[in-house]
Chains A and B, each alone.
Chain A
Amino acid sequence: MKVLLMGHPNVGKSVFFNRLTGANVTESNYPGTTVDFTKGYMKIDGEDVELIDVPGTFSLDPKDKAEEVAVAILYENKDVKVICVIDASKIERGVYLALEILEEGYPIVIALNMWDAAVDKNIQIDINNLQRILGVAVVPTVAISGEGIKELTSRLKEARPVEIDDIIRNAGGLT
């Protein structure tokens, strides 16, 4: 199995990558740190899983070099699952990217990362309702401390493609 870590710049993808693979990829507190991609391996339920740390991108409509790399990696790898890492305090733009990836037919799980920061900002997110609407697993995480990472990997096997029309219906139609 192959898994891509995707999300906006500076949401913690590389921290996830290091946590999951035990590697030591450069992390820093500003966007655009990962321009090239990094590959690593982990084991889930005894199965070898290849993990790719994809550069951050705001959408599948690339605007710069790093985003071009990100989109190319996604399109080159058809038979993969995607961990979509979202900054929980900027959830709306994150879900936009998640929807774009779903629209391309990829099975995803969503990591609502920096959950602690969102809680500090008094941002409340109805995870169950979000899971119901999107039809994918949504897991609150704090990559830096490791919170939620186990649940995230264990729910990877649930990931399957979702029809956008179903999501629209679950959300109560287009407004």
Chain B
Amino acid sequence: MEKKLSEMEYEEEGTVTDIEGTLRKKVAGMGIRVGKRLKMITKQPVKGPVVVVVDEANTSLGLNIAEKIIVEMKS
């Protein structure tokens, strides 16, 4: 099942399948790319941030950015 990163529940894990084109470069420097596994650990309402773990490192994203990243959930 696919969902937006912003919709992931706490401790949910998944693999990035799509990132909105203009955003790709922006998040690549933070270790988020298509094919990367990540886990959501903290989420704040309204604007975010959403904190995810990628390669053992925490990265925080604004909700507006997290909405544009599509993740295939680990089943």
Contact = CB atoms under 8 A, between A and B. Distances in A.
Interface of A: 58-59, 61, 63, 87, 89-90, 92-93, 96-97, 100, 121, 123
A123 B30 CA distance: 19
Interface of B: 25-26, 28-31, 55-57
Contacts of B26: 59, 61, 63
Contacts, number: 31
A96 B31 CA distance: 8
A92 B55 contact: yes
Contacts of A96: 28-29, 31
A58 B57 CA distance: 14
A89 B55 CA distance: 9
A121 B31 contact: no
Nearest to B57: A90
Given A61-B26, A89-B56, A123-B56, 16 more contacts: A59-B25, A59-B26, A61-B29, A63-B26, A87-B57, A90-B31, A90-B55, A90-B56, A90-B57, A92-B31, A92-B55, A93-B29, A93-B30, A93-B31, A96-B31, A100-B29
Contacts of B31: 90, 92-93, 96
Contacts of B28: 59, 96
A10 B49 CA distance: 19
Interface centre among B28, B29, B56, B57 (most CB of A within 10 A): B29
A61 B57 contact: no
Contacts of A90: 31, 55-57
